[in-house]
């Protein structure tokens, strides 16, 4: 299992990540609020501003204070180091 640092020492399984997006658009904000209402939201921001929203294949949504590009580069590094 490949784990990716999503900020502040929190890790997420790279194999389960479906998408990493910016939280700025209205549809993403609605999806985050819906996940919060249904108990499917994991807030890993430690009180800081959410800079990326991570969607998993199991329906969980994770908020991170790290920008999406940084998380993407960490996933790519993990994939490249495995080869």
What pLDDT score was predicted for residue 27? 98
Q: ∠3-24-14 over CA atoms, to 5°?
A: 10
**pLDDT tens column, 11-48:** 999 999 999 999 999 999 999 999 999 999 999 999 99
Per the prediction, the chain carries an average pLDDT of: 95
Which pLDDT score is estimated for 79?
Answer: 85
CA distance 83 to 80: 6
Other CB atoms within 10 Å distance of the CB of residue 56:
17
């Amino acid at each position: 299992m490949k784990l990716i640092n999503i900020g502040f020492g929190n890790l997420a399984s790279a194999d389960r990540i479906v998408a990493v997006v910016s939280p700025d658009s209205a549809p993403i904000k609605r999806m985050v609020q819906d996940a919060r209402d249904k108990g499917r939201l994991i807030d890993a921001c430690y009180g800081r501003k959410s800079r990326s929203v991570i969607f998993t294949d199991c329906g969980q949504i994770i908020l991170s204070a790290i920008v999406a590009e940084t998380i993407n580069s960490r996933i790519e590094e993990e994939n490249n180091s495995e080869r």
